Amino acid sequence: MISSFSSTMLIRSILKKQSSLSSYNNILRRNNYSSSSECVPPARKVVVLGAAGGIGQPLSLLMKLNPLVSMLSLYDIVGTPGVTSDLSHANTRSQVVGYMGEGNLGKALEGADLVIIPAGIPRKPGMTRDDLFNINAGIVKGLCTAIAKYCPHALVNIISNPVNSTVPIASEVFKKAGTYDERRLFGVTTLDVVRAKTFYAAKAQVPVSAVNVPVVGGHAGITILPLFSQATPKADSLSEEEITALTKRTQDGGTEVVEAKAGKGSATLSMAYAGALFADACLKGLNGVPDVVECSFVESNVTELPFFASKVRLGKNGVEEVLGLGPLSDNEKQGLEALIPELKSSIDKGIKFANQS
């Protein structure tokens, strides 16, 4: 038995340790956590739906390395046994279990704290994210129906595109099932933030690990709005043309990868990295680590749209607070105005799909 004093000290020590982590590198360095004499964080079950895919595999690896995960549940309609066997040999804290085929989806989901969804088809050159709608909308709808049934209280991180529509689809599915909690549903836009940080650091010649850039709006083309006027460290030397070029490159980052892969899919490795960062932030929030703030596409009052990406504070129940946009430059104000109609139409399309099919 530990006394309430020592258990308080234990919790404090875990929180201190977790909040001191500023990057995924630190997590990787700590991956012997469970075998050391240090305190073990609370048990957390994380489920990856689409675990055998281009994103799913490296994302599952990164989650296997995350010491905040105690149970990693992998699900796909193909190939899960191989990925599960392979990953299970890594000597990290989490136990890995794999499930394949719809009949096993419930078992994969039961008891989940966090479900990450990278299931669905990726883009080919010449396609927009919206071109994926017809297939991915149905996949996300089906998976969310099962989440509502088997783990209605889990946080849900949606990676499957078009995120601007798949998140509204998920919300409608959860509403119909009576399980919707807007604090628990997230569209993963972290890759936009990761790209904005990388491109800004290179242009401004500042250390990338020190860079912060909020990215707001949505997750497709012009709906991706990086706020370089709020970027830190400040780089006053950057001209307006350079900021415009950085904005465009961030918006087109996905297409840059799709074209480079020449028909073999879209971003998988950088997406897995970004997805793992966001999942780690969600787990830290669940564990009570203070001041965990990330950008995400969530239910929002920041604009007139029902969903919008902006900075959110994460906590024990998911979204604790949706933060406002802060001061925008004139170009950013224009960008915001321009993105609203496109984002609105993608959101409406998702809501309509969920309710008519």
Task: Tokens for 87, please give them.
Answer: 């990953």
Shortest approach of ligand NAD to residue 209 CB, angstroms?
21
Per CB under 6 A, 164 contacts ligand NAD: no
DSSP state of 40: P
Number of residues that bind ligand NAD (CB under 6 A): 34
Torsion of CA 16, 18, 22, 28, to 10 degrees: 140
Place of tokens 């990330």: 294
Using CB under 6 A, pick the residue from 18, 94, 136, 250 that binds ligand NAD: 136
**Does the annotation mark 89 as catalytic?**
no
Question: Please, which of residues 11-50 interact with ligand NAD by CB under 6 A?
Answer: 49-50
Query: Exactly one of 64, 93, 197, 219 is catalytic; which is it?
Result: 219
Using CB under 6 A, pick the residue from 41, 58, 122, 318 that binds ligand NAD: 122
Task: Tokens for 288, please give them.
Answer: 């009570």
Cβ nearer to ligand NAD, comparing 24 with 331: 24
DSSP state of 38: S
Distance CA 81, CA 90 (A): 15
Using CB under 6 A, pick the residue from 65, 115, 139, 276 that binds ligand NAD: 139
Per-state percent for the chain, helix, strand, coil, to nearest 5: 50, 15, 35
Per CB under 6 A, 119 contacts ligand NAD: yes
Per CB under 6 A, 188 contacts ligand NAD: yes
DSSP state of 309: E
DSSP string computed for 231-259 = -BS--TT--HHHHHHHHHHHHTHHHHHHH
Using CB under 6 A, pick the residue from 14, 156, 231, 267 that binds ligand NAD: 267
Q: What count of other Cβ atoms lies within 10 Å of the Cβ of residue 59? A: 28
Q: Closest Cα partner for 51 from 134, 126, 160?
A: 160
Cβ nearer to ligand NAD, comparing 161 with 287: 161
Question: Please, which of residues 50-79 interact with ligand NAD by CB under 6 A?
Answer: 50, 52-56, 75-78
Shortest approach of ligand NAD to residue 112 CB, angstroms?
14
Per CB under 6 A, 325 contacts ligand NAD: no
Task: Tokens for 182, please give them.
Answer: 């807007």
- Give the footprint of ligand NAD on this chain (CB under 6 A): 49-50, 52-56, 75-78, 118-123, 132, 136, 139, 142-143, 159-161, 163, 188, 191, 219, 265-268, 271
Residues taking part in catalysis:
219
